[in-house]
Amino acid sequence: MDPYKKVILTVSQINQFTKMLFDSNELLSDVYVKGEISNFVNHRTGHFYFSLKDENSAIKAVMFRTSASKLAFLPENGMKVIVRGRVSVFERDGVYQVYAEDIQPDGIGSLYYAYEQLKRKLESEGLFAEIHKKPIPKVPLRVGIITSPTGAAIRDITNIIGRRFPLAEMVLYPTLVQGDRAAVQLRVAVEYFNASRSVDVIILGRGGGSIEDLWAFNDEALARAVFASDIPVISAVGHESDFTICDFVSDVRASTPSAAAEIAVPEVTDVGEKLESLQKRMTLLMQGKVLEKKKILTVLSSSPTLKSPKNFLDTKRIITSRMLDRLDAAVSKIKDKKTAYYKEKAASLGALSPLAVLSRGYGVSYTEDGKILKTVKNVSVGDSIKSEFSDGIVYSTVTKTELKGDIKDGR
């Protein structure tokens, strides 16, 4: 074989060979890469595409949906992370990249980072705003409790409510308070109390624990259910130093379950004292009203009207009689004025009447069919006509007609 003869390879062969070299390298098959995320894309398929960079270099990375769905948080640009995965070649483009299987924030845990992300998101939407907080009822008669039926929290809550306000009925909705199924059960419990309207206030909580133990109370769906609750919710998760997302969206945050019980119900002795105080105020108020009405009755009973009703009625009769006289005079005045007016109008109309014209020596002639004769052209010799005067009617037969023109002409 000629040692100077070169082997000609295709692009695909080179990329396949390079991929084989990467995949056969034990170091690159399971590697941890530390860097800062940039150019992050959360693809609609569920895959993550991004780059990892440090001060001097950058490398492409991809995380497929099956691995991405297991992350407790959503990666962001600028986030410093440690990525576990393998380095291989994408044959089509001849590009080597990191195929990520897990991502952890560098310096803080993934759960804490997820907590901060959700906290920022819900706060930006206004779910923590004070304006949405509902007041706790002054005297709730039914208290809903959402917690584990076997934990210390339920014992503390029932003991304190029973001691402070034994009139209140406690309704327990038992749930898990940690683990994968806890968040769903807690959310369903909040929705149940709202749908049934069976309680006046809700206590949602559990005892203390690690961030992993309390994680169910950082669930977004649960947080939105608490925010949407029409019934006031008291969040009592963990100890005083523990804060969960439910603490921020609830109407009141209690430092412990015991503190939640004290917030939920009043002290029965305080209620008794307030009722006694209200009773005294009501008694004084009613006494004041009675005295006021007595004074009014005294004034009325001493009035002339009640002392002598006959004098009162006589006075009213005189006033009424005078008013009737004034009314009659006004009506007569109006009647006289209207009579004079109509007489004047009748005289004006009489002057225009045809009868008035006839009374001055004039007459009007009609043909046999009742039409008024306005000209001699409407009759002929031999026609019968009638002429009406102011004092009667003349019936006649036409023997001769003349036009004014004929007279002028001498005919």
pLDDT on residue 133: 96
Task: Determine, yes or no, domain membership for 338.
Answer: no
pLDDT on residue 381: 83
Tell me the pairing of strands 201-206 and 95-105.
Answer: unpaired
Statement to judge: residues 103 and 159 lie in one domain? no
DSSP, res 370:
S
pLDDT on residue 72: 83
Is the pLDDT at 409 greater than 60, yes or no? Answer: no
Task: Determine, yes or no, domain membership for 325.
Answer: no
CATH code of the domain containing 19: 2.40.50.140
Q: Where does the pLDDT of residue 411 fall: very low under 50, low under 70, confident under 90, or very high at 90 and above?
A: very low
Statement to judge: residues 170 and 74 lie in one domain? no
Task: Determine, yes or no, domain membership for 296.
Answer: no
What secondary structure, in 3-state letters, does 67-106 show? HHCCCCCCCCCCCEEEEEEEEEEECCCCEEEEEEEEEEEC
Statement to judge: residues 99 and 130 lie in one domain? no
Task: Determine, yes or no, domain membership for 332.
Answer: no
Task: Determine, yes or no, domain membership for 291.
Answer: no
Tokens of 43: 């693809």
Statement to judge: residues 172 and 253 lie in one domain? yes
CA distances (Å), origin 67, targets 71, 114, 300: 7, 16, 92
Task: Determine, yes or no, domain membership for 272.
Answer: no
Statement to judge: residues 167 and 224 lie in one domain? yes
Average pLDDT, the chain: 86
pLDDT on residue 46: 93
Backbone angles phi, psi at 269, to 5 degrees: -65, -35
Statement to judge: residues 262 and 130 lie in one domain? yes
Statement to judge: residues 153 and 253 lie in one domain? yes
Statement to judge: residues 147 and 185 lie in one domain? yes
First to last CA, the chain: 164
CATH code of the domain containing 239: 3.40.50.2300
In this prediction the pTM is 0.54
Task: Determine, yes or no, domain membership for 320.
Answer: no
The total domain count for the chain is 3
pLDDT in tens, 175-220: 999 998 999 999 999 999 999 999 999 999 998 888 888 999 999 9
What secondary structure, in 3-state letters, does 231-285 show? CCEEEEECCCCCCCHHHHHCCEECCCHHHHHHHHCCCHHHHHHHHHHHHHHHHHH
Statement to judge: residues 225 and 178 lie in one domain? yes
**Domain end residue (candidates: 245, 266, 287):** 266
Statement to judge: residues 249 and 137 lie in one domain? yes
Tokens of 40: 């992050």
Statement to judge: residues 103 and 132 lie in one domain? no
Residue 48: give the domain boundaries: 11-107
Task: Determine, yes or no, domain membership for 118.
Answer: no
CA distances (Å), origin 78, targets 47, 51, 206: 19, 11, 36
Which secondary structure element, helix H or strand E, spans residue 388, and what is its range?
Answer: strand 384-389
pLDDT on residue 307: 65
Statement to judge: residues 256 and 167 lie in one domain? yes
pLDDT on residue 108: 66
Report how far residue 406's alpha carbon sits from residue 411's, in angstroms, rounded to the nearest whole number.
5
